[in-house]
Amino acid sequence: MQERTVFFISDGTGITAGSLGKLLEHFPNTHFKQVRMPFTDTLDKIQHAQEVILQATEQSGSRPVVVMTLGNIELRNALKESNAYFIDLFNTFIDPLSIELDQKPLRGAGIAHSVMGSSYNDRMEAINFTLNHDDGMTHAGLEQAEVILIGVSRCGKTPTSVYLAMQYGVKAANYPLIPEDFERGTLPSVLHKHLNKIFGLTIKAERLHSVRTERRADSFYASLENCRNEITTAERLMREAGIPWADSTSRSIEELSTIILEKIRHPA
Amino acid sequence: MQERTVFFISDGTGITAGSLGKLLEHFPNTHFKQVRMPFTDTLDKIQHAQEVILQATEQSGSRPVVVMTLGNIELRNALKESNAYFIDLFNTFIDPLSIELDQKPLRGAGIAHSVMGSSYNDRMEAINFTLNHDDGMTHAGLEQAEVILIGVSRCGKTPTSVYLAMQYGVKAANYPLIPEDFERGTLPSVLHKHLNKIFGLTIKAERLHSVRTERRADSFYASLENCRNEITTAERLMREAGIPWADSTSRSIEELSTIILEKIRHPA
């Protein structure tokens, strides 16, 4: 397999540059060694970066890919003296966008991920809300939730809720469906008045069995038969209540969150 | 203030395209209305997108910015018939990178954020670990943590830990410094054997006072004097133990996480 080093070099956190690293998944036949170099905001640090780029070239035999966001033009030009394949987000996006908007961009370091960013406080508030409303911990304040995820234990409610809060500032509560609900045959009564913001997660029985076995091997809770029964009943309850749901078995929390937001914010 | 609509149009989640939205913070004099259109993977959906682009143009009087990741060339060309300022991540990154790597890219939808992605399982495991080791909840398994964040109550440990886990797959425990520790004058004994992976957070007293007041107004806990004393003592304990720390008052969780990872993974 081909090897390439990819550097994400930024005068700030390098998170925006790094997020483009996801696009490397389009090239499964190359093994990418990803190296983030944040806070590269002086000529000394640029020189250090150049040395590391040279080392990587010598070790792997091919020039590295460098994804860069450097506001300072002098630093940017200095870095580009290295032999690498450069993806320069200022050149590619910010400068052309500046022409389109007829507006000079801010060039300071760390603009993109500062606490001054437009939605930062909303996101922090949502994370607190979500952690305080994990796993049906409290009924208080459910009316403030934008989304309430429901589903059987270990179907992926918690990481999906946390992602919704952290990434989108969505106050996402989650509420487990448990044996008492299945015996009674109805959704927990506390949920009845929130039906329009409930979204269900479900999962394949084999997958749930394996996830629960990691937690409590050889228990009734983890048995394939119990997993099957819980899932069948949970899906029936959701269907009867008209609640939309998605299967988490082969979907990432990013994909689930996108589906959930589309459904809750733009119901068909 | 100038208004612009920015569409993030993708055949997958649109999360990679959306992450470039952070670069818009470089243009503080424009108010951007950001609209994500995920799962745009048929000609019908492209036509719908074109209508929405046209409406946005008519409403705001200027053409929208469209950041797009569409693997299918037919869909891509169809969308580009609209009048908009296009930033096409396939054109700009993937196709040129394909030439550099001498390798055809995968063109399917949703490649970047699937559960097949290289680090997905590590991230899920880290989220579970972090939530189970929030706020000193348990000492069991601390040896598995890559980072242990410490600091006074409400200084930002929890959201920073969760970000480290979710974004980087880092198992990040966090452990509060509490009045008993300050009276005793030493770090909790359970931490002594983990000194090399402890990172401290601190915060300005005025800010802590305000955060705690939201939680418990008029309490001793929230009083400015108590906040000052706790912070002074916590910083002294960290200094004496040689623990690196950062001030969370004006730093985002993205910035803090970057600082922490640099320190823990590349100690000077």
Q: Please state, in angstroms and rounded to a whole number, the distance separating the CA atoms of residues A60 and A53.
A: 11
B-chain residues within 8 Å CB-CB of A38? 258, 262
Interface predicted TM-score (ipTM): 0.89
What is the structure's pLDDT at A131? 94
CA dihedral A189, A194, A199, A200 (to 10 degrees): 0
Cα-to-chain-centroid distance, residue B186: 32
**Chain-chain contact of A258 with B101 (C-beta, under 8 angstroms):** no
- The residue with tokens 């001030």 is B247
**Worst-scoring range by mean pLDDT, B19-28, B41-50, B159-168?**
B19-28
Task: For residue A242, tell me if it sits in a domain.
Answer: yes
Q: How far is CA B202 from CA B46, B152, B171, B247, in A?
A: 49, 7, 21, 5
**Chain-chain contact of B85 with A97 (C-beta, under 8 angstroms):** yes
Which of B101, B133, B154 terminates a domain? The answer is B101
Same domain, A127 and A67: no
Chain B interface, best mutation among A19, A26, A27, A123, by max B CB count within 10 A:
A26
Average pLDDT, chain B: 93
pLDDT in tens, B47-97: 999 999 999 999 988 999 999 999 999 999 999 999 999 999 998 889 999
pLDDT band at residue A268 under the 50/70/90 scheme: low
Number of domains making up chain B: 2
How far is B258 from chain A, CA to nearest CA, in Å? Answer: 6
Chain B interface, best mutation among A19, A33, A256, by max B CB count within 10 A:
A19
**Of the candidates A115, A250, A253, which has its C-beta nearest B250's C-beta?**
A115
**Of the candidates B13, B36, B106, which has its C-beta nearest A255's C-beta?**
B13
How far is A19 from chain B, CA to nearest CA, in Å? Answer: 6
Mean pLDDT, residues B109-126 taken together: 80
Residue B145 has pLDDT above 80, yes or no: yes
Q: How far is CA A215 from CA A208, A247, A248, in A?
A: 11, 21, 18
Which of A71, A101, A131 terminates a domain? The answer is A101
Same domain, B147 and B81: no
Chain B interface, best mutation among A258, A264, A265, by max B CB count within 10 A:
A258
Same domain, B95 and B27: yes
Range of the domain at A243: 120-265
pLDDT in tens, A191-246: 999 999 999 999 999 999 999 999 899 999 999 999 999 999 999 999 999 999 99
How far is B73 from chain A, CA to nearest CA, in Å? Answer: 15
Residues 6+ apart with CB under 8 A from A253: A156, A159, A160, A163, B124
What is the structure's pLDDT at B268? 67
Q: Please state, in angstroms and rounded to a whole number, the distance separating the CA atoms of residues B163 and B29.
A: 29
> For residue B249, what is the nearest residue in chain A, using CA coordinates?
A115
Same domain, B216 and B151: yes
Task: For residue B106, tell me if it sits in a domain.
Answer: no
B-chain residues within 8 Å CB-CB of A57? none
**Chain-chain contact of A87 with B101 (C-beta, under 8 angstroms):** no
Instruction: Give alpha helix (H) positions in chain B.
Output: 15-19, 43-60, 73-79, 89, 95-101, 120-132, 157-168, 179-184, 205-215, 224-240, 253-265
Task: For residue A253, tell me if it sits in a domain.
Answer: yes
B-chain residues within 8 Å CB-CB of A251? 115
Q: Are B202 and B246 in contact (CB under 8 A)?
A: yes
Longest Cα–Cα distance in chain A: 70
> For residue B89, what is the nearest residue in chain A, using CA coordinates?
A23
> For residue B118, what is the nearest residue in chain A, using CA coordinates?
A25
Q: Are A113 and B254 in contact (CB under 8 A)?
A: yes
**Chain-chain contact of B16 with A19 (C-beta, under 8 angstroms):** yes
**Of the candidates B4, B27, B163, which has its C-beta nearest A105's C-beta?**
B27
Residue A117 has pLDDT above 90, yes or no: no
Same domain, A13 and A49: yes
Same domain, B133 and B228: yes
Residue A85 has pLDDT above 70, yes or no: yes
What is the structure's pLDDT at A22? 86
Same domain, A89 and A166: no
Task: For residue B108, tell me if it sits in a domain.
Answer: no
Q: Please state, in angstroms and rounded to a whole number, the distance separating the CA atoms of residues A21 and B89.
A: 12
Task: For residue A109, tell me if it sits in a domain.
Answer: no
Which of B68, B101, B134 terminates a domain? The answer is B101
Same domain, A175 and A239: yes
Q: Is the dihedral of CA A224, A227, A233, A235 positive or negative?
A: negative
Same domain, B87 and B127: no
**Chain-chain contact of A106 with B252 (C-beta, under 8 angstroms):** no
Q: Please state, in angstroms and rounded to a whole number, the distance separating the CA atoms of residues A51 and A57.
A: 10
Q: Say whether A255 sits in a helix, a strand or coil.
A: helix
Longest Cα–Cα distance in chain B: 70
pLDDT band at residue A2 under the 50/70/90 scheme: confident
How far is A181 from chain B, CA to nearest CA, in Å? Answer: 25
Q: Which CATH number covers residue A240?
A: 3.40.50
How far is A207 from chain B, CA to nearest CA, in Å? Answer: 14
What is the structure's pLDDT at B117? 64
A-chain residues within 8 Å CB-CB of B22? 15-16, 112-113, 117
**Chain-chain contact of B115 with A250 (C-beta, under 8 angstroms):** yes
Which among B149, B153, B131, B142 is positioned nearest to B259, based on CA atoms? B149
How far is A253 from chain B, CA to nearest CA, in Å? Answer: 8
B-chain residues within 8 Å CB-CB of A8? none
Task: For residue A111, tell me if it sits in a domain.
Answer: no
Task: For residue B231, tell me if it sits in a domain.
Answer: yes
Q: Please state, in angstroms and rounded to a whole number, the distance separating the CA atoms of residues B63 and B54.
A: 8
Task: For residue A156, tell me if it sits in a domain.
Answer: yes
Same domain, A192 and A70: no
Q: How many CB atoms lie within 10 A of CB B236?
A: 12
> For residue B126, what is the nearest residue in chain A, using CA coordinates?
A159
Same domain, A92 and A51: yes
A-chain residues within 8 Å CB-CB of B107? 26
**Chain-chain contact of A162 with B158 (C-beta, under 8 angstroms):** no
* Pairs of residues, one from chain A and one from chain B, whose beta carbons lie less than 8 Å apart: 180
pLDDT band at residue B128 under the 50/70/90 scheme: very high
**Chain-chain contact of B158 with A127 (C-beta, under 8 angstroms):** yes
Average pLDDT, chain A: 93
Q: Which CATH number covers residue B27?
A: 3.40.50.2300
Question: Each residue of B149-180: b (16+ CB within 10 Å) or e?
Answer: bbbbbbbbbbbbbbbbbbbbbbbbbbbbbeee
Same domain, B55 and B156: no
Q: How many CB atoms lie within 10 A of CB B142?
A: 18
> For residue A117, what is the nearest residue in chain B, using CA coordinates?
B25
Q: Please state, in angstroms and rounded to a whole number, the distance separating the CA atoms of residues A7 and A112.
A: 19
A-chain residues within 8 Å CB-CB of B101? 2, 4, 27, 30
Q: Please state, in angstroms and rounded to a whole number, the distance separating the CA atoms of residues B124 and B66.
A: 32
> For residue A160, what is the nearest residue in chain B, using CA coordinates?
B124
pLDDT in tens, B199-246: 999 999 999 999 999 989 999 999 999 999 999 999 999 999 999 999
CA dihedral A149, A152, A153, A156 (to 10 degrees): -50
